[in-house]
Amino acid sequence: MAVESIRRLLKSNLGIMMLSSGIWRIGFSMTMPFWALYVVHLGGNYVHVGLISTVGSAMGLIPSLLGGYFADAYGRKKMVYISSVILALTQSLYFLAPSWEWLLVAQSINAIFGGLRHPAFSALIADSTDSDSRALGFGMWQSLPQVFGLFSPYLIGLLMDNYGIITAQRWAYMTSLSMGLIGAYMRGKYLEETISVQEERLSVVSILKNSFSDFRDTYSSISRQIWVMIIIGGLFQFGASTAVMFMVTYATEDVILLSAAQWGLINTASQIVSMLITLPISMLIDRYGRIKPVIFSLLTTPILIGGFLLSRNFTWTFTFYIFLTIIGIVGGVAGQALFVDYSPKQHRGRIYGLTNFIGATQSFNTQMIGGFTIIGAVASIIGGTLYQNISYASPFILMASIIGFSGVFGLIFLREPEKRET
């Protein structure tokens, strides 16, 4: 049964999305683990790291809402394809940046088109799963694309140690540009639309009017349990956004003093572990339910954050980061599947647009935190200020406290759905 489900999912849109995202990830896995270092070595400081994320979050807010409307009204495929092309081309701005201020421009453009794409992107993935194998589908989505970028963090870490952070990261962004264009082409050519789309052309004013009118209908369709998930996701996003971006600087330049290659090796090992265990965990979640894994993940994550914070050598850093990976997979797969279980298909794009606008993640995995949101904007600047002016540990302590609280909240209010949405 599981083999048949995997074969069917691989032949669907999900298979195309996994392959195209895997190609994109070759470059992404070279840049993402070292983002804060790139900002600092272009002349910024830790507050600037948070500021860039905050500006990006602000620029992506309205596009997130419009993207939800476009995804449901005009189709998932078109939005995913066009935005993917533009996002790939945006990598050239990161490559060319002579100073950290240029990253504000690059991140703003990235946020606008990322916000437009995200609801369609998420809805397309969700539409490609069914209620009986939903966790398996999300597990495949989380694990299989990582195969392509498996050794990217370690290889770019070696190049950074030998050629310098700026030079190596410029090569990484050029790689990301090339791989992104290949992935975008595949999505435009091979994806199939999952909903009926309207043919009429509307003015900008009509689009805005319809967007907010339709969101009123979507708002009324949101169940109590979706709101509970949104609150938990918002808390998790806020907590993680205060500190995750500083894990690389905490581990390399400020406290633990690992080399770039060692940090890259830890990220590579994390991806190997993720690839090996995600599918078995996903099948267990499909069989035994989503709530208990979500709660277990939320309550365990703060303990592992504390372990990372206290690490002072490669071995302990490696150990706690790998355990964070494992527990993040449990919370990430179960959380995404549970959220879709609650979400009506006809409103799914707009629900994702709303949650992306607010910043309520559905994946309770610290290593998958991203996007440009209200919550992320506030948390990023708070985290940067704490890291720069109070202590290196302070944003991590705040992160652990808030995620722990979200787990207690979920323990009290979350319930398994009586009927899972298709």
Within a domain: residue 200?
no
Look up the CATH number of the domain holding residue 53: 1.20.1250.20
d(CA 367, CA 240): 9
Confidence (pLDDT) at 390: 95
User: Furthest-apart CA pair in the chain: how many Å?
Assistant: 61
pLDDT (average), residues 15-27: 90
Confidence (pLDDT) at 262: 95
Within a domain: residue 71?
yes
Answer whether residue 2 shows pLDDT above 90. no
Answer whether residue 200 shows pLDDT above 70. no
pLDDT (average), residues 261-270: 93
C-alpha count within 13 angstroms, C-beta hemisphere, residue 287: 8
Answer whether residue 130 shows pLDDT above 90. no
Confidence (pLDDT) at 87: 93
Give the pair of three-digit tokens for residue 279: 């599918």
pLDDT (average), residues 27-49: 90
d(CA 308, CA 317): 6
Burial class (CB in 10 A: 0-12, 13-18, 19+), 322: middle
Answer whether residue 152 shows pLDDT above 60. yes
Within a domain: residue 420?
no
Number of domain units in the chain: 1
pLDDT (average), residues 307-334: 94
What is the helix, strand, coil percentage profile of the chain, to 5? 80, 0, 20
pLDDT (average), residues 268-282: 89
Answer whether residue 208 shows pLDDT above 70. no
Question: For residue range 56-72, what is the model confidence (pLDDT) as tens digits?
Answer: 777 877 787 777 777 77
Helix ranges (DSSP H) in 244-373: 247-249, 260-288, 291-310, 314-342, 348-358
Cα 411 to chain centroid, rounded: 24
Confidence (pLDDT) at 313: 95
d(CA 127, CA 121): 10
Give the pair of three-digit tokens for residue 162: 């030998």
Cα 60 to chain centroid, rounded: 14
Within a domain: residue 336?
yes
Question: For residue range 239-261, what is the model confidence (pLDDT) as tens digits?
Answer: 998 999 899 999 999 999 999 99
What single DSSP character describes residue 300?
H
Answer whether residue 405 shows pLDDT above 90. yes
Encode 77-96: b = buried (16+ Cβ within 10 Å), e = exposed. bbbbbbbbbbbbebbebbbe
Looking at per-residue pLDDT, the higher value among 380 and 166 belongs to: 166
pLDDT (average), residues 185-210: 69
Count Cβ atoms below 10 Å from residue 219 Cβ, excluding itself: 12
Looking at per-residue pLDDT, the higher value among 209 and 362 belongs to: 362
Alpha carbon dihedral 109, 114, 117, 123, in 10-degree steps, equals: -170
Task: Please report which confidence band the pLDDT of residue 91 belongs to, taking 50, 70 and 90 as the band edges.
Answer: very high
Answer whether residue 171 shows pLDDT above 60. yes
Confidence (pLDDT) at 196: 67
Answer whether residue 318 shows pLDDT above 90. yes
d(CA 88, CA 111): 13
Question: For residue range 209-242, what is the model confidence (pLDDT) as tens digits?
Answer: 655 555 566 666 677 888 888 899 889 989 998 9
Answer whether residue 308 shows pLDDT above 90. yes
Confidence (pLDDT) at 395: 95
Could you tell me if residue 343 is left (phi over 0), alpha (psi between -120 and 50 degrees) or otherwise beta? beta
Contacts of 29 (CB under 8 A, 6+ apart): 146, 149, 150, 152, 153, 267, 271
Q: The pTM is what?
A: 0.80
d(CA 412, CA 290): 15
Within a domain: residue 359?
yes
Task: Please report which confidence band the pLDDT of residue 5 belongs to, taking 50, 70 and 90 as the band edges.
Answer: low
Considering the chain, what is the average pLDDT of its residues?
Answer: 84
Within a domain: residue 349?
yes
pLDDT (average), residues 102-121: 87
Within a domain: residue 199?
no
Confidence (pLDDT) at 197: 65
Looking at per-residue pLDDT, the higher value among 351 and 43 belongs to: 43
Domain with 74 in it: 2-191+212-413
Within a domain: residue 205?
no
Answer whether residue 178 shows pLDDT above 70. yes
Looking at per-residue pLDDT, the higher value among 224 and 391 belongs to: 391
The amino acid occupying position 171 is W
Cα 201 to Cα 65, 101, 204, 216, 354, distances in angstroms: 19, 38, 10, 22, 24
Answer whether residue 199 shows pLDDT above 90. no
